[in-house]
Amino acid sequence: MVDVVYVVNVEKVKNELLLAGSIEKVELARQRKIAPVEQALLAANIQYHITILKGEPGLEIIRYAHEQQVDLVVIGSRGLNSLQEMVLGSVSHKVMKRVQCPALIVK
């Protein structure tokens, strides 16, 4: 079973809503982001479950991985530039440092 976890960054929700114009459009945009992963899993006949969390993405992924005792975390890298990563840190970097199971960053 594969758990697909999408974290809604609560700090960016207002901006998303202002840009999209309605909560329905925001929800549709989120579904579009998840759709390629869902399609790939369906095509490979892999069972999956989608979980949508709210909060700071790195911390929520770490918490979920610990609570659900996952075997492996696979996380994408958006490729921040070196200055952004030095100042902000990346979600994938935070997860790699703090998660207690094996983790894989996919570029």
| 24 in the same domain as 74 | no
Instruction: Report whether 74 contacts 106 (CB < 8 A).
Output: yes
Tokens of 37: 């992963």
pLDDT per position as a tens digit, 24-46: 777 887 889 899 999 999 999 99
Asked whether 75 and 102 are in contact (CB, 8 A), the reply is: no
pLDDT digit string (tens) for 18-29?
A: 566 667 777 887
My answer on whether 90 and 107 are in the same domain is: yes
Task: Say if residue 35 is in the same domain as residue 75.
Answer: no
* Same domain for 51 and 77: no
Query: Are 64 and 44 in the same domain?
Result: no
Domain region containing 78: 56-107
Q: Tell me: do 10 and 25 sit in the same domain.
A: yes
Q: What is the pLDDT of residue 24?
A: 78
Looking at the 3D structure of the chain, how many domains does it have? 2
CATH number of the domain within which 60 lies: 3.40.50.620
| pLDDT at position 99 over 90 | yes
Flag whether pLDDT at 87 surpasses 60. no
